[in-house]
Amino acid sequence: MSRKIAVLVGSLRKDSYNLKVAKILQQIAPKTLSLQIIQIGDLPLYNEDIDQGHPPESYTRFRKEIATCDGVIFVTPEYNRSIPAVIKNAIDVGSRPYGQSVWAKKPTAIISVSPGAIGGFGANHALRQSLVFLDMPTMQQPEAYFGGVATAFDDNGNIAEKSRAFLENFIKTYADWVNKLA
């Protein structure tokens, strides 16, 4: 049986490096995992007023998708040394209504991806602050800061062997993490 894992990508850009990395993770994940990229770009900025009575359809769709998954992977760029608003917004939507958070206990992992040298370290750790509060058991090792991503792909979209090996180790260890917590 393969476990459904929600993948949240923190960039809405068509040619996003983070999206490319998320798609490679989908391809190389062990058979025990089925990675599904969940749409977050259509979620209106969280507002308790619009969440009363008849919440936006996208909020309901998103909450259901997360609630029915067995784990979560965040693939995120760093924006101004923190997480992009789309990721924080998705976290906030999933955390409400109060007392009905969809996040608790889901085995989680983070990979931050950047053309820069420090691989989105600031985003990776800023994200962890919310995950602690939301009771999401988050894989500690290997830490995954994917720096220099702009040079990791060739013109045909193939990833360099060294980077592929790094991603393989990340996703295999995450599969073990999910099994351990199941």
Binding residues vs ligand FMN (CB under 6 A): 11, 13, 16-18, 77-81, 114-116, 120
* Residue closer to ligand FMN (CB basis): 80 or 141: 80
CB of 22 to ligand FMN, least distance (A): 9
Are 9 and 18 in contact by the 8 Å Cβ rule? The answer is: yes
CA 19 → CA 9, 24, 55, 123, 162, distances in Å? 6, 9, 28, 16, 19
CA 161 → CA 31, 146, 158, 165, distances in Å? 21, 14, 9, 6
CB of 34 to ligand FMN, least distance (A): 23
Q: Smallest Cα–Cα separation from 126: which of 166, 171, 77?
A: 77
Are 88 and 123 in contact by the 8 Å Cβ rule? The answer is: no
CB of 146 to ligand FMN, least distance (A): 10
* Residue closer to ligand FMN (CB basis): 79 or 166: 79
* Residue closer to ligand FMN (CB basis): 16 or 32: 16
* Residue closer to ligand FMN (CB basis): 41 or 44: 41
Q: Is 168 left (phi over 0), alpha (psi -120 to 50) or beta?
A: alpha
* The two structure tokens encoding residue 81: 């040394």
Q: Smallest Cα–Cα separation from 4: which of 20, 23, 26?
A: 26
The CA distance from 108 to 139, in Å, is 6
CB of 101 to ligand FMN, least distance (A): 27
CB of 47 to ligand FMN, least distance (A): 22
